[in-house]
Amino acid sequence: MRTCTLFFILALALLLGNSACKQIYIKHSKILESKPELKSISNGEKRVLFLPIHHIGLKEYYQDIAKKTDSLIGLNYMVFYEQVNTKASDHAEYESLGKKFRKITGNFNASSGYLDTVNNSLGNMQFDKKYELTNQPPLAKLGVNTSTAVHADVSLEELIYAYEQRNGPIELDSCDKATSLEEEYLCEALDRKSRKEFREDFILGHRNSHLAQLIHRSEADKIFVIYGASHYKGFIKELEKLDASWEEE
């Protein structure tokens, strides 16, 4: 099974065109925090501790997550984790999915969403070396045992299928088909409105709903969720749709 963790911090980075905005982003994005803040939610029967993770941060930030994970597992919390993957059985199937995703978003080069720790950059945003930022480590380094924890995310094919169910098949043109996923994408992607819809309703909304459903149906009464920070507010709304008694503590 391939894993395709989606990093959309790049989308925000591309909006920040000048050095002043970049410095404001660095100060207010919380990527410089050394300890994550847990969000506590309860409906009287279940308690959820939500860790809104940043996919780029300080080493001590990720070290603290590992400590928190270990402690909460010791307190019998069930871990739910974020990770978009794919069940594509061969390269042709995987490439087709990737090209459809790229047609919608304009990009499928996962590395472009990672911090370049050699050049201290993310997309077109340059970071000062003094911050010593790093990419999110593998789940195992965060204390998550994927064989016992709950994979609380959807597959790449589920996202593509859901989008096509609403909007019809994603048509790839000759340029899309001829350009490999490893090459620079110079073809014509879908329009801005479609990209926004995919980001808000599927990358965020669809996954938020899926996570809320899993927690609603879970028999565990203590749940520890490690999920992207951008999902938290939407996830709460989806949870409240299923059970109005959920409240933030």
Task: Write down the pLDDT at residue 24.
Answer: 42
Tokens of 29: 């994005």
Q: Which residues pair with 3 in a beta bridge?
A: 85
Q: How far, CA to CA in Å, does 145 sit from each of 59, 73, 214, 223?
A: 20, 10, 18, 15
**How confident is the model at residue 42, as a pLDDT?**
97
The token pair that represents 233 in the structure block: 């507010």
What's the CA gap between 198 and 223, in Å, rounded? 29
> Would you state the pLDDT for residue 115?
43
Q: What are the mean pLDDT values of the chain's consecutive 10-residue runs (249 residues total)?
A: 40 36 53 90 97 89 96 98 87 90 81 46 57 84 96 93 96 96 91 93 95 98 95 96 96
Domain boundaries, the chain: 2-248
Check: CB of residue 224 under 8 Å from CB of residue 49. Answer: yes
pLDDT number for residue 1: 52
DSSP 142: G
